[in-house]
């Protein structure tokens, strides 16, 4: 087993959310992988208030205990799979808030995206790609987009089509490759913020 660690971050905390089933499916697909260890992070377990740090995250001077706990958790990982709903043509507020809390803990790591929504959540992913670039997160090309019309029964029971399994394999391959390369870079070259 590789020493790469990748977090699957569930970016919805809504009651009755569809994201838990999607994130669980992603984790089930990842469990057969040998190139990295995957772990699910549910933002329900990290209840962050609206960003309440007075100093910008790039300074790395976190004051709140909730911020320090979140930073310690995210620092453990070499890469991320963000599982996001699409709300109002973007990602969820809770995921954006969680991302905004930190800076260096995201830097020079890789990310892939899994989305769901009426149009597959593609617009949420596009916003996350721009946010990731600012945080020096390298994003992989492959993404998974689940439609509320074809991948959910009655808009609530997750039943993804089999074609998504092959797409997930490609996403994991790309993510593990980039995560491994960036881990070597982080180990060899100290990078200034």
pLDDT of 56-76, one tens digit each? 999 999 999 999 999 999 999
70 token code pair? 């979140």
Question: Residue 81 in contact with residue 6, Cβ under 8 Å?
Answer: yes
Distances from the Cα of 76 to the Cα of 27, 73, 91, 125, angstroms: 18, 6, 24, 23
- CATH fold for the domain made of 5-188: Rossmann fold (3.40.50)
Q: What is the pLDDT of residues 142-171, one digit of tens each?
A: 999 999 999 999 999 999 999 999 999 999
Residue 134, phi then psi, degrees to nearest 5: -65, -30
Q: What is the pLDDT along the chain (193 residues), one digit of tens a residue?
A: 479 999 999 999 999 999 999 999 999 999 999 999 999 999 999 999 999 999 999 999 999 999 999 999 999 999 999 999 999 999 999 999 999 999 999 999 999 999 999 889 999 999 999 999 999 999 999 999 999 999 999 999 999 999 999 999 999 999 999 999 999 999 886 555 5
CB-based contacts of 99, cutoff 8 Å, min separation 6: 106, 131, 135
- Spans of all domains in the chain: 5-188
pTM of the model: 0.94
> Using CA of residue 57, residue 4, residue 13, residue 161, what is the dihedral sign?
positive
Distances (CA, A) of 123 to 33, 57, 86, 128, 186: 28, 26, 7, 9, 30
List the helix and strand counts (H, then E) for the chain: 5, 7
């Amino acid at each position: 087993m590789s020493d790469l660690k990748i977090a699957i971050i569930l970016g919805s905390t809504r009651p009755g959310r569809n994201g838990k089933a999607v994130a669980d499916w992603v984790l089930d697909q990842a469990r057969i992988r040998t190139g990295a260890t995957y772990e699910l992070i549910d933002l329900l377990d990290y209840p962050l208030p609206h960003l309440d740090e007075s100093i910008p995250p790039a300074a790395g001077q976190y004051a709140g205990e909730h911020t320090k706990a979140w930073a310690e958790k995210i620092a453990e990982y070499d890469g991320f799979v963000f599982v996001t709903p699409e709300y109002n043509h973007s990602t969820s507020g809770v995921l954006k808030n969680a991302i905004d809390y930190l800076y260096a803990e995201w830097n020079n790591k890789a990310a892939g995206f899994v989305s769901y929504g009426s149009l597959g959540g593609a617009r949420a992913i596009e916003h996350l790609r721009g946010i990731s670039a600012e945080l020096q997160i390298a994003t992989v090309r492959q993404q998974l987009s689940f439609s509320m019309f074809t991948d959910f029964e009655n808009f609530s029971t997750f039943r993804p089509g089999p074609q998504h399994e092959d797409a997930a394999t490609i996403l994991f391959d790309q993510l593990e490759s980039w995560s491994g390369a960036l881990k070597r870079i982080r180990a060899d070259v100290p990078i200034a913020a």
